[in-house]
Amino acid sequence: MTTMKEIAEQTGVSVSTVSLVLNDRDAGRVKASIAAQVRDTARKLGYRPNPLARSLRTSRTRILAFVSEEIATTPYAGGIILGAQDAASTLGYMLFTVNADGRVDEETEIATLKRYGVDGFMYAKMSNRYANVPSSLGDYPVVLVDATDREGRFPSIEPDEFRIAYDATKRLIDAQCERIAYVGCSELMLAQDGRLEGYRRALEDAGRKFDERLVVNVLNNGPALQAVSDLFDREKPDGVFCFNDARAWYVYECAARRELTIGKDVSVVGVDNHRVFAETFSPQLTTVELPHYEMGYWATCKLVSMIEDRDLSDLQLPHTTAALPPLDAPIPAKIHCTLIEKESVRR
Partner DNA sequence: GTGAAAGCGCTAACAG
Partner DNA sequence: CTGTTAGCGCTTTCAC
Question: Least Å distance between CB 81 and DNA?
Answer: 29
Q: Is 49 in the site for DNA (CB under 7 A)?
A: yes
Per rule CB under 8 A, count of chain residues that contact a copy of itself: 57
Sole binder of a copy of itself in the list 3, 37, 60, 78 (CB under 8 A) = 78
Distances (CA, A) of 50 to 7, 43, 62, 94: 14, 15, 12, 14
What mask, x for binding a copy of itself by CB under 8 A, covers residues 214 to 233? ------xxx-----------
- For the sheet containing 215-218, what is the strand order? 215-218, 180-185, 239-242, 267-272, 286-289, 334-336
User: Nearest to residue 257, comparing CAs of 249, 269, 245, 268?
Assistant: 249
Site for DNA in 20-39 (CB under 7 A): 20, 22-23, 25, 28-31, 34-35
Contact with DNA (CB under 7 A) among 43, 58, 152, 220: 58
To the nearest whole angstrom, how small is the minimum distance from the Cβ of residue 129 to a copy of itself? Answer: 19
Q: Kindly state the smallest distance separating residue 276's Cβ from DNA, in Å.
A: 46
Binding mask 34-73 for a copy of itself (x = CB under 8 A): --------------xxxxxx-xx----x---------xxx
Contact present, 147 and 156 (Cβ < 8 Å): yes
Q: How far is the CB of 121 from DNA (least distance, A)?
A: 21
* Span 95-124, contacts to a copy of itself by CB under 8 A: 95-99, 101-104, 109, 111-112, 115-117
Q: Is 310 in the site for DNA (CB under 7 A)?
A: no
Interface map 244-283 toward a copy of itself (x if CB under 8 A):
--x--x------x-----------------xxxx-xxx-x
Which amino acid would we find at residue 296?
A: G
- Residue 136 contact among DNA, a copy of itself, none, beta carbon within 5 to 8 Å by kind: none
Q: Smaller CB distance to a copy of itself: residue 90 or 136?
A: 90
Whole-number Å distance between alpha carbons of 68 and 127: 11
Please tell me the count of residues contacting DNA according to CB under 7 A: 28
What is the pairing mode between strands 120-131 and 142-149? parallel
Establish if 138 lies at the interface with a copy of itself (CB under 8 A): no
Q: Should residue 289 be labelled a site residue for a copy of itself when binding is judged by CB under 8 A?
A: no
Instruction: Please name every residue paired with 341 in a beta bridge, in sequence order, or none if there are none.
Output: 157
Count other Cβ atoms within 10 Å, centred on residue 40.
Answer: 13
Residue 109's contacts (CB-CB under 8 Å, 6 or more residues apart) are 67, 98, 100
Instruction: Find which of a copy of itself, DNA, none residue 3 binds, CB within 5 to 8 Å per kind.
Output: DNA
Cβ–Cβ under 8 Å, residues 331 and 263? yes
Burial class of residue 172 in the structure, from the number of CB atoms within 10 Å of its CB (0-12 exposed, 13-18 middle, 19+ buried): buried
Binder of residue 30, out of a copy of itself, DNA, none (CB less than 5 to 8 A by kind): DNA
Single out the residue of 98, 157, 103, 109 nearest to residue 137, CA to CA: 109
Q: Which residues pair with 181 in a beta bridge?
A: 240
Q: Which of 267, 245, 288 is nearest to 175 (CA)?
A: 267
Cβ atoms of 338 and 321 within 8 Å: the answer is yes
Whose Cβ is closer to DNA: residue 27's or residue 188's? 27
How far from the centroid of its chain's Cα atoms is residue 274's Cα?
Answer: 14
The tally of CA atoms less than 13 A away on the side-chain side of residue 278 is 22
In the bound state with DNA, the residue whose beta carbon lies nearer, of 62 and 200, is 62
Alpha-carbon gap, residue 328 to 326, rounded angstroms: 6
Collapsing DSSP states into helix, strand and coil, what is residue 191? helix
Binding site for a copy of itself (CB under 8 A): 1, 48-53, 55-56, 61, 71-79, 81-82, 85-86, 89-90, 94-99, 101-104, 109, 111-112, 115-117, 220-222, 246, 249, 256, 274-277, 279-281, 283, 293, 318
Residues of this chain that bind DNA (CB under 7 A) = 1, 3-5, 12-17, 19-20, 22-23, 25, 28-31, 34-35, 49-50, 53-54, 56-58
